[in-house]
A and B are shown apart, each in its own frame.
Chain A
Amino acid sequence: HSALTQPASVSGSPGQSITISCTGTSSDVGAYNYVSWYQQHPGKAPKLMIYEVSNRPSGVPDRFSGSKSGNTASLTISGLQAEDEADYYCSSYTTSTTRVFGGGTKLTVL
């Protein structure tokens, strides 16, 4: 399974909303509702933000939401804040019983 496809970069101003897409195939993203999203600040370990497409772990602000349509999953951040500036990665389970990550998206808060 090739890496899931994410835009290299997205940007937005404080208070705005942005959406990061994660495109896979019918063998991964499209096959199951097993997509998760991770936030990574420079030099830090990734942090779980969304699991099973749209569920937020305890402690993650409700400004973060996830969805899926067909082979594409999306992460939406509303009310952008300066601390949201980071790299974001999607991940999916696959029909080959493996896991795959997206290439990552750098979010810049202008």
Chain B
Amino acid sequence: QLQLQESGPGLVKPSETLSLTCTVSGGSIISSSYYWGWIRQPPGKGLEWIGNIYYTGSTYYNPSLKSRVTMSIDTSQSQFSLNLSSVTAADTAVYFCARLGAGGYSSGWYDYWGQGTLITVSS
């Protein structure tokens, strides 16, 4: 059974860079069928798409976050990562990693999710 697990600092200071890693187990991160993604959810609010990455390293980002977001992938460690720079209190959220399932990037759907990790931006 595929599992995804987010890991990160929990607390980040304003203006600093938020760094999260998602570890994939129970399946291969190298697949022509899947993309890997990040979605966040501010407390009490809805889901926001952050972006997706392919095992080759190609990326798609939310235009509203694009100037601050960088995603990377380490296939040898079965991990993919999110860096979000210049964070503010508005970036406080639960961050989920997820697999964009078979169907290709355009038609894909998020079929496996991590449990989510709360990141708080505060001094």
Chain B interface bracket (under 10, 10 to 19, 20 to 34, 35 or more)? 20 to 34
- Interface segment among B23-31, B83-91, B109-117: the answer is B109-117
Q: Across the interface, do B115 and A45 meet the contact criterion of CB distance under 8 Å? A: yes
Choose one: B39, B63, B106, B116; the contact of A34 (CB below 8 Å): B106
Q: Across the interface, do B47 and A104 meet the contact criterion of CB distance under 8 Å? A: yes
Chain A interface bracket (under 10, 10 to 19, 20 to 34, 35 or more)? 20 to 34
Q: How far is the CA of A48 from the CA of B113 in the complex (A)?
A: 9
Choose one: A93, A101, A102; the contact of B107 (CB below 8 Å): A93
Q: Across the interface, do A36 and B113 meet the contact criterion of CB distance under 8 Å? A: no
Q: Across the interface, do A32 and B107 meet the contact criterion of CB distance under 8 Å? A: yes
Q: Across the interface, do A36 and B110 meet the contact criterion of CB distance under 8 Å? A: yes
Contacts A99-B49, A102-B46, A104-B47 given; indicate if A46 touches B113 (C-beta within 8 A): yes
Tell me if B62 counts as interface (CB < 8 A to partner A): yes
Chain A interface (Cβ < 8 Å from any Cβ of B)? 3, 32-34, 36, 38, 44-48, 51-52, 57, 89, 91, 93, 96-104
Chain B interface (Cβ < 8 Å from any Cβ of A)? 39, 45-49, 52, 60-63, 96, 101, 103, 105-111, 113-116
Q: Can you list 27 A-B contacts with CB-CB less than 8 angstroms, sorted by A residue number?
A: A36-B110, A38-B110, A45-B115, A46-B47, A46-B110, A46-B113, A47-B113, A48-B110, A51-B101, A51-B111, A57-B111, A89-B46, A89-B47, A91-B47, A91-B109, A93-B107, A93-B108, A97-B105, A98-B60, A98-B62, A99-B52, A100-B49, A101-B47, A101-B49, A103-B46, A104-B46, A104-B47
